Chains A and B, each alone.
Chain A
Amino acid sequence: MNVRWPVLVLCLLAGSAHAQGFAGLGTTADGFAIPQRGTALSFPRDHGPHPKYRIEWWYLTATLQGEDGRDYGIQWTLFRSSLAPRDGQGWETPQLWMAHAALTTPDAHYLDERLARGGIGQAGVSIAPFHAYIDNWEMQGHEGSGISDLTLSASGPEFAYDLTLKAAGPLVLHGDGGYSVKSAAGQASYYYSQPHYEGRGTITLPEGEIAVSGLGWLDREWSSQPLASDQTGWDWFSLSFDSGARMMGFRLRDDMSGYTSATWIAPDGNTSALPDGALKLTPLAASSVAGREVPTRWRVELPARDLDVTVSALNPQSWMDTSFPYWEGPVTVSGSHMGRGYLEMTGY
């Protein structure tokens, strides 16, 4: 999973402090729907928005290799945040949208942020065909193919990218059939992924355009209350190994030992969920980023799968200096398994 957060950027604007948890995710969810174990996800319906849930995201990352031989990474994220558990038309809708896009190179990290109101056509997600958009940033599917065939684009003041992505494997449901538990107290979200994208396209840097190809990973998650109030942040990994296997793993940090969860995805797409404590994460080295110390080299162990790897940031300065700043960037994997992936860290 990757626990993302609601548009609490608005709280910044209002000047009110968010005392509980990271970015206020621990608040109670008045009137909002709460994920229930045993609810079957249904597609393409669940590719679309769930306005009765407080927060939701469409989160795509890709590790790319350029024709120049260098490694790159891109992030395309659309968040939906609901101020009330209903939909609506016009400016009056309680649905708000936020998006982040980033392009990471070994020595640079470009990013941009967009905010938009729902109800007026500036941002939203539709399912037939699949279309997620905010301003001119788009994730567009084709009629009848769900999300298995996407074009993806975004641009900022210093960068742009334009990719096509084709899924080479099935959707992956995390936790118990998509019901993903986030704390020992039972907070949970609905969470599924499409980790099997193969992509190609162009990225635009200040130096010019570069043709790229690589692997993409889409996360879909929605909930109303995914964090316990004592949880302060998280470390989240999505790793694609050269063997064809993949792993999603995270640890929610608290003042105790934290809460971990992982999903092992075999090359054929079969998954197994691993319980709290199975995943072991150890910071090996930290970098000074934006005035704070952030671990950018990790030892990741999953003894049940004989996994013991070192995960290193492609660019330790992959700081997302957005309304709610965090670290997100491409990583390389070495050790018992070789591969690439994405790392996200919040609350540092």
Chain B
Amino acid sequence: MTRVALAALLSHWRRQPLQLLTLLIGLALATGLWSAVQAINAEARASYAQAAAQLGRSDHALLSAPSGWIARKDYVALRRAGWKLSPVLEGRARLGEIAATVVGVDFLSYPKPPEADAGAPEVTPERIFLAPGLLFAPPELAVQLAAQPDLPPVVATADLPPGVVMTEISLAQYLLDRAGQIDRLLVLDAQPINLRPLAELAPDLVLTPPERGTETARLTDSFHLNLTAFGLLSFAVGLFIVHGTIGLAFQQRRAMFRTMRALGISLRHLTWLLIAELGLLALVAGLLGLVLGYLVAAALLPDVAATLRGLYGAPVSGGLTLRPLWALSGLGIALIGAAIAGAQGVWRLHAMPLLASAEQRAWAGVAVRRARFQALAGLALLAAGGAAIWLFDGLVAGFALLAGLMLGAALLLPALLDLVLALIQRRTRAPVAQWIWADMRAQLPGLSLALMALLLALATNIGVGTMVSSFRLTFTGWLDQRLAAELYVTARTDEQGAALHRWLEQRVDAVLPVRSVDALIAGQYGEVVGMRAHETYRRNWPLIAAAPQVWERLDASGGVLVNEQLARRENLWPGAQVTIGTDWHPEVIGVYSDYGNPVGQIIVSLDTLLARFDGVPYRQFGVRIAPDRVPALVTEIRAQFDLPASAVVDQAEIKARSLAVFEKTFLVTGALNVLTLGVAAFAILTSLLTLWGMRLPQLAPVWALGLTRARLARLELLRSVVLAGLTALAALPLGLLLAWVLLAVINVKAFGWRLPIYLFSGDWLLLLALALLAGALAAALPAHRLRRTPPADLLKVFANER
């Protein structure tokens, strides 16, 4: 019995393969996009956790020096006082032609030494500790390093994050040219009893407790929240499709349900059968979605990894691992989605009287009430979003505002469209025109879900597009200001740096040394940069707030400039005092924009920097020179100082590289954007197909009154295009509002900088055209069908009327 009944139910899909396809594609798309985002996030998080664990940042308390580095003798003194500590030195170094983060550790005390992969050269104490030493590197980097001449043997290990080389601390000190220096001391477990407190033994060092979440994870939370929001949006849009299709399938099978009930299948039994059917479809679609999600994630992950590396310096590998939990959650979300989309159908079946006819218009009255409720809910959501940002601070409040804004506006859309259509209807006199507008209003409830999806997709497109373009414009402008020198040179050692400086001074217009140290700024680690207030900087440096005579005071009074992130975080505007290290409290005299830099930065005059800090590296220089002399100088410097290509970089190259990082950053956003828009167009199509079944009884009288089928078909097209156009018009202000929230609220909270909004009206016209096209394409199939409907079918409407 059950089998026969199920076969009868499923026979519907055999007769309607397009519907089946729509349902499966809709659910698979929803699941796929959601799962892709989840996979990307999980992969990135796993990478941070690994990196944090490997670099010993998360599990152990740290000792570090506000002055920048800890001397070896201070480390030894603490060990001799009984404290179990493990020294770590970390920095960027060029290994042959490859730039990498070099982490030097004492392998005797380091708590988590990396394990060599199978097939790596044998690791013995002798090889670790005795010259030439060993370099541990992740497999990809290991291959690259092995190809470089004059490097110690390389051991591949899966334990290290991308771009990180771990080695014995003495070798690291040599590679980083930092003899005798240590960056931080890990405070190991199981300390002996009766120790003198660290605060007493080393009052100059700062103790940072173990971190619960890693720094990187916190930093990148906004990015992941962003992706998750996109994933949810795609999921919601996908559900609109599924909802439409399932509604249609229930609609079309009412007669079948009636027959089955009449044949003796209980309502309960039928309900369970329908649930089983839905579950089966959801499972199939879920599996398809998982495959899709994996493919999308695998395609996007390298870009995401590049973004995270570029924007936050977070090491993420570009490879995707399949996690069982991920697959389970993907299937789960497919089932939940199908349940949400099918709930209404099942409920209606339950409420349907046994012998009721396939009545449609009865729902119209319900629809009016529902629209009113929806509009009220929309207003409430808008208010809640506004309240969230008013009452609470932080990124989550920003996203709450975003969610309230988007969902509220979507819920308001049907009421708004109804209002507009009613206004137009009132102004028309011709009977056909009046019918058209009235008919459009009557169709609104059935189309509203699809139109909401379109609204969200369009608004997201406008908002994100505006944000990205504004960001890009600001960023390129800023790059032009910041990269004022024509050439940037990095020496291997301080001695070479000094020689390079002398050599350059005789050949170029100006040499601008770039010297910096890491130090504690207002309680957190940041960078202190020493700058000579050369004319180049005075003219070009992008200050967003400044005291009078800022450059003179930078030199004379020991005032400092802070970057925007730090200024906003610590409220340090001109006139305020900032604490550097523990005992230096200079005055802030200016704030500059510093996009893409996750850490706080302070600019002081070079003389002040050198007076305050020891061992400031002397290796990087900006060079001012006539642009046409650059290529010759590059060749000369490389030959004279035996520097690799990557150590002598001209301005154009840095700009190109920075822009490449930037483009990657938003590539993923763009890809998800386009996918969402595509899914929304698909939703309109399925909604129109759903409505198709109900259309004939309404069109037949109009046809009978003399409107040709061709004209009716044209009107169908027109209706869809007008609704899409109206939705696009509504999406424009919503999108701009979204852009404002992203730039002025979310960005400030996530990154610490605010961007000016630039408007790109050309893009909007393009989007409007796209929306109209989507509306036309979605209506093309139903219109075509209408045009081809045999007159007999239209006549049947009257014959069947009871």
Interface residues of A (CB under 8 A from B): 7-8, 10-11, 13-16, 83-84, 90-92, 94, 96, 112, 114-117, 120-122, 133, 135-136, 155-160, 204
Contacts of A136 in B (CB 8 A): 79-82, 192
Contacts of A120 in B (CB 8 A): 72, 76
Q: Among the listed stretches B122-130, B410-418, B527-535, B584-592, which one makes contact with chain A, having 4 or more residues with CB under 8 Å of it?
A: B122-130
User: In whole Å, how far is B186's beta carbon from the nearest beta carbon of chain A?
Assistant: 14
Interface pair A91/B168, CB less than 8 Å apart: yes
Interface string of B387-407 (1 = CB under 8 A from A): 000000000000000000000
Interface pair A117/B125, CB less than 8 Å apart: no
- Asked if B73 is at the interface (CB within 8 A of a chain A CB), the reply is yes
Interface pair A121/B76, CB less than 8 Å apart: yes
- Asked if B131 is at the interface (CB within 8 A of a chain A CB), the reply is yes
CA A331 to CA B289, docked complex, whole Å: 70
User: In whole Å, how far is A86's beta carbon from the nearest beta carbon of chain B?
Assistant: 10
Interface pair B82/A10, CB less than 8 Å apart: no
- Asked if B116 is at the interface (CB within 8 A of a chain A CB), the reply is yes
Contacts of A84 in B (CB 8 A): 126, 130
Interface pair B173/A15, CB less than 8 Å apart: no
> Most chain-B CB neighbours within 10 Å: which of A84, A91, A94?
A91
Given the known interface contacts A90-B170, A122-B80, the answer about A160 and B193 at a Cβ–Cβ threshold of 8 Å is yes
User: In whole Å, how far is A25's beta carbon from the nearest beta carbon of chain B?
Assistant: 15
Interface string of B197-218 (1 = CB under 8 A from A): 0000000000000000000000
CA A204 to CA B193, docked complex, whole Å: 9
Point out the residue from A10, A155, A158, A204 that lies within 8 Å of B125, measured CB to CB. Answer: A10
CA A121 to CA B113, docked complex, whole Å: 23
Given the known interface contacts A94-B130, A120-B76, A121-B76, the answer about A160 and B125 at a Cβ–Cβ threshold of 8 Å is no
- Asked if B190 is at the interface (CB within 8 A of a chain A CB), the reply is yes
Closest to B104 in A: A91
B325-367: which residues lie under 8 A (CB-CB) from chain A? none
Interface pair B82/A135, CB less than 8 Å apart: yes
Interface pair A122/B76, CB less than 8 Å apart: yes
| A-B contact sample (16 more), CB < 8 A, given A84-B126, A91-B106, A91-B168 | A10-B124, A11-B125, A13-B113, A14-B116, A92-B131, A92-B170, A94-B130, A96-B125, A117-B108, A121-B80, A136-B79, A156-B190, A156-B193, A157-B193, A160-B192, A204-B194
Interface residues on B, range: 20 to 34
B99-116: which residues lie under 8 A (CB-CB) from chain A? 106-109, 113, 115-116
Interface pair B116/A15, CB less than 8 Å apart: yes
Contacts of A96 in B (CB 8 A): 108, 125, 129
Contacts of B116 in A (CB 8 A): 14-15
Interface pair A16/B193, CB less than 8 Å apart: no
Interface pair B76/A10, CB less than 8 Å apart: no
> Most chain-B CB neighbours within 10 Å: which of A8, A13, A90, A96?
A13
Closest to B82 in A: A136
Given the known interface contacts A90-B170, A91-B173, A136-B80, the answer about A156 and B192 at a Cβ–Cβ threshold of 8 Å is yes
Interface pair A10/B190, CB less than 8 Å apart: no
Interface pair B79/A155, CB less than 8 Å apart: no
Contacts of A91 in B (CB 8 A): 72, 106, 168-170, 173
A-B pairs, top 3 by smallest CB distance, nearest first, are: A91-B170, A10-B125, A136-B82
Contacts of B113 in A (CB 8 A): 13
Contacts of A13 in B (CB 8 A): 107, 113, 125
CA A11 to CA B107, docked complex, whole Å: 11
Interface pair B131/A112, CB less than 8 Å apart: no
Closest to B110 in A: A13
Contacts of B173 in A (CB 8 A): 91
- Asked if B191 is at the interface (CB within 8 A of a chain A CB), the reply is yes
CA A187 to CA B243, docked complex, whole Å: 84
User: In whole Å, how far is A312's beta carbon from the nearest beta carbon of chain B?
Assistant: 30
Contacts of B115 in A (CB 8 A): 15
CA A11 to CA B126, docked complex, whole Å: 10
Given the known interface contacts A155-B82, A155-B192, the answer about A83 and B129 at a Cβ–Cβ threshold of 8 Å is yes
Contacts of A92 in B (CB 8 A): 131, 170
CA A160 to CA B72, docked complex, whole Å: 27
CA A227 to CA B125, docked complex, whole Å: 20
Closest to B180 in A: A90
A/B interface sample: 29 pairs, CB < 8 A? A8-B125, A10-B108, A13-B113, A14-B124, A14-B125, A16-B122, A16-B123, A16-B124, A83-B125, A84-B126, A91-B72, A91-B168, A91-B170, A92-B131, A94-B129, A96-B129, A115-B109, A117-B106, A121-B76, A135-B82, A135-B84, A136-B79, A136-B82, A156-B190, A157-B191, A157-B192, A157-B193, A160-B193, A204-B194
Interface string of B467-509 (1 = CB under 8 A from A): 0000000000000000000000000000000000000000000
Contacts of A10 in B (CB 8 A): 107-108, 124-125, 128-129
Interface pair A15/B123, CB less than 8 Å apart: yes
Contacts of A115 in B (CB 8 A): 108-109
Contacts of A156 in B (CB 8 A): 190, 192-193
Contacts of A158 in B (CB 8 A): 193
User: In whole Å, how far is B106's beta carbon from the nearest beta carbon of chain A?
Assistant: 6
Closest to B169 in A: A91
> Most chain-B CB neighbours within 10 Å: which of A10, A90, A160?
A10
Closest to B196 in A: A136
Interface pair B130/A159, CB less than 8 Å apart: no
Closest to A121 in B: B76
Interface string of B125-140 (1 = CB under 8 A from A): 1101111000000000
CA A213 to CA B285, docked complex, whole Å: 79
Contacts of B191 in A (CB 8 A): 157
CA A120 to CA B108, docked complex, whole Å: 13
Contacts of B123 in A (CB 8 A): 14-16
Interface pair A11/B80, CB less than 8 Å apart: no
Given the known interface contacts A122-B76, A160-B194, the answer about A7 and B125 at a Cβ–Cβ threshold of 8 Å is yes
